[in-house]
Each structure stands twice: as structure tokens, then as C-alpha cells.
Structure 1
Amino acid sequence: MDKERAGIQSVEVGFALLEALTRSHGPLMLKDIAAAAGMSAAKAHRYLVSYQRLGLVVQDARSSRYDLGPAALKLGLASLSRLDAIRLAREQVPQFMEQIGHTMALAVWGNRGATLVHWEESPRQSITANLRLGDVMPLLSSATGRCFGAYLPREKTAQLLDEELHLAQRQKRTDLPHTQKAVDALFNVVREHRCARVVNILLPGIAAFCAPVFDSDGRLVMGIMTLGSVATFDAEWNGAIDTPLRAMAERLSSDLGWAAP
């Protein structure tokens, strides 16, 4: 029994590499992963070779940087899908989509940002959107990101927000805020409407809404998002999509024990 409790030390040691990649906001060089895990580059490399074979890690052939692989994504999504809130929402998404008539998705806050964990494509409104499960949505240019940015504590979003602000400034994006004051105004609009919206910002020709879902303590647990072509998608506040989407989010929040203030 004591030996079983001791476990396998090499597994525990190697996991530090996966943790380093999990905490990172992007791919890392071997020396940086090794340093973060507190081991030599040679030792880290041996673990990473095995992790690549298992699909837990991938290496970019051009940059030589390492990142989490498809097997790690599957594990993460499987874990998230076991949360009651996610399961509850997934069960109701098909009927929501039938009511709205557009593709819908669910997102939660992961260690890299607002992450898509469920995707339900509408058979009636086919769109071209290069999005997939596990994608992390930007805070400023996506409806999903804006929803999380508006309702999460600032310390959770500060680093990502700072990075996106600098990027918007460098790219001279006129459709995105460049200052913290402008960001605050943007998030105030989200809170005012209890929903986030983007039109022709993240994806050309695509409009989207994302509404917040809260738990019994009033904490944001997920965003419920819908998107479609601007040609057929009603992007007006209090319109044919915004209104039922907010009602859906409030219903889910209520099922999770949330009481509207």
C-alpha cells in the first residue's frame, strides 16, 4: 500500500513540463519550458519526445517551439464537459439553436482565455467561420471575449488585455479600443445590455452575440454565443437574436441557482 501511495516519480516530474505549457500564453522554446519546470534542457527533451508520441505535445517544425497537442486538448475538453454547468447547457443548446436559427457555441474561461468548449452548427444557416473546439477567443475583437472581459475580475484578464491593447495600437485598428478608458466604455456597454456584440470585427461578414451565464454565487461560468452572416443575422440590440439569447442565458443561470439582482 505504501508503494502504491508513492506513485511514479517520473510521471510527476514530467507533468511539470505540461504545467509550464499550460501556464504559458503561447508556444515555448525548449530552454524556456525546461527552466519553468526546473530541469535541464536535455532531461526536458526526453520527456517532450515521449509526449509528442502521445499527442500531448506538438513541435512547430519552423520555430522549434513546443505547445500542447491534440491529446491534451481532448483531456481538457473531457474534463470541462463533466462540469454540471457545461453538461446542462449542452443539453439545451439544440433547442436554443432551433429557436434562434443560427450556429451556437459555449465558452468557458481557461488558462489562456475564453475557450470554445461546444459548437453546434445550424443546418439552416451554413457559415464559413474558421473556428473550432479549443479555440481561444480574443478579448477585444470577439463577442465571447468581450463578454468575459466585462464580467470577470480584472486581475484575471489584465495580462491578456494589455497584450491586445498593444497589438491594436501597433496595427492601428480603428474598430478596436486603444486605451483602458475606451476598454472600460466597451465593457460598460456589454454590462448595460447584458450581452456582447461584434459585427465585421473578428470575422469579415460575420456578426455575433455572447450572453453571460452565472452560477449561484453570481460568478460568470460560461458564455453562450451565436453567430451568423450579416446578410441574415439580426445584429440589433433587443432584436430577434439578442432578446432570446439573453433569455436563454438567464434561464441557464437560474437553473444553476443564480437569482437576478
Structure 2
Amino acid sequence: MADTEQSRRRVQSIEVGFRVLRVLRMAEGPLPLREIAARAGMPPSKVHLYLVSFVREDMAYQDAQNGHYGLGSFAIQLGLAAIRQLDVVALASDSLTELCDKTDCAIYLSVWGDRGPCIVAKADGALQGAFSVRLGYILPVTTTATGLVFLAHLPEYETMRARAAQDAYDAARNARTPSEEEIAEAVGKVRTLGYASTIGMLNRNFAGIAAPIFDYSNKLAATLTILGPSEYMSRAKHKEFVRLMLDAAQNVSQRMGALTTSKP
């Protein structure tokens, strides 16, 4: 029993120490002790004890000139090791299955390739019927929710080639191409709302909702998309599914190392 209580105290001690490390992670630069304590919601004397240990283990360092604290060399090495191990497909796998179970719709994970958004993982839903998008499929850039998310978060020079290819393909089929004004309006809406939604674009009977997944540098790493029958994804369902998609995308983003505004 004593061993169990002691083990619990040690775990709690680690958790408290991580409150200090989270403050250093979110800081714009080295901070004085009192500022770290204020942001962590802890007494300065207690924070100082943790910082002494972190400095000793190179998780933190103290500036010799002003005494301020920042993240140390081992913290940097730890972060780089985590980055090397990142795999968005593996990290998003559980989210795809969970979303599919909750919505009965097909869920897709796409990354940006040379020709545009490419589907790299999927979970087939009960409501997709005969309509299914295969792995490796290159999605249209300007007429799908997935494509609009990429347009909203990637620099223009990365998307120009894919857009040109889509325009040429649409012209060969005499298909309507959205105007620059329509694209700009759609992209602006994605940036404002944090997600994209389309109806009847990839298939006239289906609607899509897509949300961005960010990596450790807060750059777009992938896009998570739900595709289901338009009638099923009614206004009430739309709100529910948007919330599910945004929550799932944020969860994967956090696992990818994206910075969040969560407090220590």
C-alpha cells in the first residue's frame, strides 16, 4: 500500500513538473522565474525547485546574464526525436475508424502530392452505398471540400500546378470551372470557419466536410474528410459532423506536435 501511495506521489510530481515545461514550451523566449510561476499557477519557490532539476538534466537552461529560463538542449533533442517518429497516417488511423463508427459515413485522410490531394487512408462507411473513392485517388482541388482546405492553407506556388492540371482536365470535358472570385470566396470561408463543406461536387448525391491537420511547425500535414449522402447530412447532422471532424482533426494535430492554446 505504501509503495502504491509513493508511486502515485511520484506520478503527481511529474505532472506538476510538466506544468512548468509547458510554460517554457509556449513562451516566446526565456522567462524570469516569477513569470513562469504566474503562468503555471504555482508558487515561485516550488517552480524554482523544478527548474533546478530541469537545468541539471538539460531540459531547461538558465541565462547567465539575466537569470531567465528557457528550454534546454535535451528538450530540443527530445522534440527532434518525436518529429522523426511522426507518421500522420498511423496517428490518424484511430480517428478514421472512430469517426466512421459515429457517423456511418466514409472517412478519408488525404495528403498533398505533386498532382493535388491524394487519399492515403480511408474507413468505409455503411451509408456510402456503391460510391467509394479508392486509395491513391487524386481529388479535384477547387471543387471538393478536401481541395479547398489545401488551397486555404498551402502557399499558392505549391498549388498552381495542380490547379492548372484540373483546369485543363475540366476544359477537355467541357466541365464548368469555378471562377477566381468563387474560389477566393470559398477559400476565405474555410479560413474563417476552420473547415470546408461542399454538396454534390464529387458526386451529385453526396456531401463532404473536411478539416485540416497541422504538424509540429503548424503547417498543413493532411486533411480529414467525411463523405456521405446529402440527404443524410442534413442541417442538424451537418453541425454535429462539423464538431466531430474539428475535434478529431485537432486531436491528430496535437499528436503531430501542433501548438495549441491550451493552458498548462
TM band (smaller chain): 0.5 to 0.7
| Greater RCO (Cα-Cα under 8 Å, separation 6 or more) | 2
Offset, 1:254: 1.2
- Is 2:112 aligned against 1:109? yes
Equivalent of residue 84 in structure 1, options 75, 87, 104: 87
Residues 127 and 229 in structure 1, CA contact (< 8 A), matched pair in contact too: no
If the length of structure 2 is used for normalisation, what is the TM-score? 0.60
Tell me, what secondary structure is at the counterpart of 1:228?
Answer: strand
Tell me, what secondary structure is at the counterpart of 2:239?
Answer: coil
Percent of residue pairs identical:
23
In 2: Cα distance, 1:212 partner to 1:120 partner: 18
Q: Which amino acid aligns with 1:241?
A: F
Residues 100-143 of structure 1 show CA distances to partners (whole Å, capped at 9, x for unaligned) of 331111111112210001111123x2333242000000101111
Residues 163 and 85 from structure 1, CA distance in 2 versus in 1: closer, same or farther, beyond 3 angstroms? closer
Residues 127 and 260 from structure 1, CA distance in 2 versus in 1: closer, same or farther, beyond 3 angstroms? farther
If the length of structure 1 is used for normalisation, what is the TM-score? 0.61
In 1: Cα distance, 2:175 partner to 2:114 partner: 28
In 1: Cα distance, 2:209 partner to 2:121 partner: 16
In 2: Cα distance, 1:86 partner to 1:101 partner: 21
Tell me, what secondary structure is at the counterpart of 2:231?
Answer: coil
Residues 237 and 98 from structure 1, CA distance in 2 versus in 1: closer, same or farther, beyond 3 angstroms? closer
- Is 2:150 aligned against 1:177? no
Q: CA RMSD in A?
A: 2.3
Q: Which amino acid aligns with 2:134?
A: R
In 2: Cα distance, 1:237 partner to 1:126 partner: 16
Q: Which amino acid aligns with 1:259?
A: L
Residue 222 of structure 1 corresponds to: 222
Q: Which amino acid aligns with 1:141?
A: T
Residue 70 of structure 2 corresponds to: none
In 2: Cα distance, 1:182 partner to 1:163 partner: 18
Tell me, what secondary structure is at the counterpart of 1:187?
Answer: helix
Equivalent of residue 160 in structure 1, options 157, 162, 166: 162
Offset, 1:236: 6.8
Residues 144 and 206 from structure 1, CA distance in 2 versus in 1: closer, same or farther, beyond 3 angstroms? same
- Is 2:208 aligned against 1:202? no
Offset, 1:160: 1.9
Structure 2 gaps, min length 5: 1-84
Residue correspondence of structure 1 range 14-163 to structure 2 within 5 A:
84-123=87-126, 125-163=127-165
Q: Work out which of the two has the higher radius of gyration on C-alpha atoms and give 1 or 2.
A: 2
Residue 259 of structure 1 corresponds to: 259
Offset, 1:237: 9.4
Q: Which amino acid aligns with 1:188?
A: G
Structure 1 gaps, min length 5: 1-81
Residues 21-78 of structure 1 show CA distances to partners (whole Å, capped at 9, x for unaligned) of xxxxxxxxxxxxxxxxxxxxxxxxxxxxxxxxxxxxxxxxxxxxxxxxxxxxxxxxxx
Q: Which amino acid aligns with 2:152?
A: A
Q: How many residues align?
A: 176
Residues 102 and 161 from structure 1, CA distance in 2 versus in 1: closer, same or farther, beyond 3 angstroms? same
